[in-house]
Amino acid sequence: MVTRKLLTASAVGLSVGLLAQHATGAEIPGVQKAPQATEYVVDSQLFRNEIDGYVRDLNRQLRETLSEDLRRELSPKIVLASNELRARS
């Protein structure tokens, strides 16, 4: 008798829980709206100066990096050539 009451209560609880989950999954989600767009006023000369400065700095960094890479590429060839001359003489 006690077992039947426990099984009945757990079966009812399980079925109600499953039905509740199914019902919440079927609800229509709320509509999301995009946030309000804010306008920014930027001085065109200031913007142009900042972009020019950024491009100059980027060009300088690229030149330095390429120069370092070129030095690394050329130095092993020079070392190999000098070692080869020493081995022959």
pLDDT tier at 49, thresholds 50, 70, 90: very high
Is there a domain that residue 13 lies in?
A: no
In a domain, 5, yes or no: no
In a domain, 64, yes or no: yes
Of 46 and 2, more confident: 46
**Residue 22 forms part of a structural domain:** no
Number of domains forming the structure of the chain: 1
Q: What are phi and psi of 29, to 5 degrees?
A: -70, 155
Residue 30, domain member (yes or no): no
Residue 47 has pLDDT above 80, yes or no: yes
List pLDDT tens digits, range 51-83: 999 999 999 999 999 988 887 776 655 555 555
Range of the domain at 72: 42-89
Does residue 20 belong to any structural domain of this protein?
A: no
Residue 8 lies in a domain: no
